[in-house]
Amino acid sequence: MKKTKLLFITPFPPPFGGIAILSQSILNAGLKDCFDVITINTSKKALREKIDSVRFSGILNSFKNYLKLIKACHSNRDAKYAYITGTSNWAILRDFLYLIILKFYNIEILFNLHGTRKLEQSNGLIKWVSQKAMAYSTYILSPTRVDFEAAKKLSNRPAKVKLFYNATNLSVPVEPKYKNLLNAKEDVTLIGIGRLSDAKGAYDLIPLVIQLIDKGHPIKLIWIGRGAYEADDKWASDLINKQSAKTQNRIHLLKDLTEEEKFNYLQQADLFVLPTKNDNLPVSILEAMACGLPVISTYMGAIPEVIIPNKNGWLINHSNTSELKSGILNALKQKDKFPDMGKQNTEDFNRIYNAVNRVNELVAMITNSPN
């Protein structure tokens, strides 16, 4: 049987941001087994992606992507569906033109739209364009329940808004350890993954861990990820170099790891910590869950929908180093709970956050498309 064609318009790694990893995960989780997938990679393919700025290279990249999409639509006149990722911020102005091109070719749109929870307080133009984009779409896919509820209120047809959690497809086999840390003097390894930036909470976490180590707490920290800017990497390097040799040996800042290396570090760690200040549902949290780690994170986006305090982790308010300190120390006092929390996270990952589930949802939506 001939497969239905699906245009897949989204960034792919590099850079290794959450949306890019989500997109690659869905593709790797069997999407090509279900559809004839035509990918349009909208990434600039740069290892280091500058954020929070508009640059000529970004504008040029957008125009190249518009031309790629027009060519793909023209070459695949029998394509009926397109999956596209976007965000309800200034980027929606760029993404909206993708939707116009798709509508011109009468292609139904499944729009994975992040950030609709912020639309009521957004710039009027962003809100207007976002609502137009939702109106053009056959389905709006929301990565969090709060985004889902906000999108339903703003959509011209609430029934087409679907909850579509971030997910990942593990690129390497993992075997959760569920370690018992019964020795009070045994080191506890904390691990965080993401941009080494203030937005991910690294500027709060790293100095705090240094303080705790200096006070004699038996902890280590591994952070995996480049800075959003070169200045972030320099800040962290300068900070670590000022510390004693003992402290330096307990803090490891890693970048450009292979997937195998990343998951090896995750499986050897004891507690995942990501005090993020601006996220929907970080893929790194899902990866930590798959590896059987309890999680400390913040009340951001869908994180409270995933991490339930004292069940599979702990939550704190972002940008609050006092709460972060209390959260880590509280977790250290409850090391006996780590194995059960880790098992709960592995179970939740397999049941909900494995990318195979998102592929099945896409198949169901396209099969039952109202058009």
Query: Do 123 and 269 belong to one domain?
Result: no
211 occurs within a structural domain: yes
174 occurs within a structural domain: no
179 occurs within a structural domain: no
The amino acid sitting at 193 is I
Counting the structural domains of the chain, the total is 2
Query: Do 21 and 136 belong to one domain?
Result: yes
Query: Do 127 and 198 belong to one domain?
Result: no
DSSP 337: G
Query: Do 299 and 153 belong to one domain?
Result: no
182 occurs within a structural domain: no
Query: Do 323 and 193 belong to one domain?
Result: yes
Query: Do 155 and 292 belong to one domain?
Result: no
Query: Do 339 and 194 belong to one domain?
Result: yes
Give the tokens for residue 260: 């195998």
**Quick one: how far is CA 5 from the chain centroid?**
27
Query: Do 134 and 246 belong to one domain?
Result: no
**Sorting pLDDT into bands at 50, 70 and 90, what band is 119?**
confident
180 occurs within a structural domain: no
69 occurs within a structural domain: yes
Gap between the Cα atoms of 223 and 219, Å rounded: 13
Query: Do 217 and 298 belong to one domain?
Result: yes
pLDDT given at position 47:
44
pLDDT given at position 48:
46
pLDDT at 7 over 60: yes
The CATH number of the domain holding residue 73 is 3.40.50.2000
Mean pLDDT of the chain: 92
Query: Do 234 and 88 belong to one domain?
Result: no
Q: Are 261 and 174 in contact (CB under 8 A)?
A: no
Q: CA 308 → CA 104, 132, 269, 305, 312, distances in Å?
A: 45, 35, 20, 7, 6
173 occurs within a structural domain: no
**Sorting pLDDT into bands at 50, 70 and 90, what band is 45?**
low
Q: Are 109 and 80 in contact (CB under 8 A)?
A: no
Gap between the Cα atoms of 345 and 312, Å rounded: 6
Query: Do 162 and 29 belong to one domain?
Result: yes
183 occurs within a structural domain: no
Sheet of strand 219-224, all strands in order from the earlier edge strand to the far edge = 251-254, 219-224, 188-193, 271-273, 295-298, 313-316
CA 108, 29, 64, 76 torsion-angle sign: negative
Residues 6+ apart with CB under 8 A from 339: 178, 179, 180
Query: Do 224 and 145 belong to one domain?
Result: no
The predicted model scores a pTM of 0.87
pLDDT at 109 over 70: yes
Q: Which domain holds residue 66?
A: 5-168+355-367
**Structure-model confidence comparison of residues 202 and 48, the more confident one:** 202
pLDDT, one tens digit per residue, over 145-164 is 999 999 999 998 999 999 99
- Dihedrals phi, psi of 51, to nearest 5 degrees: -125, 165
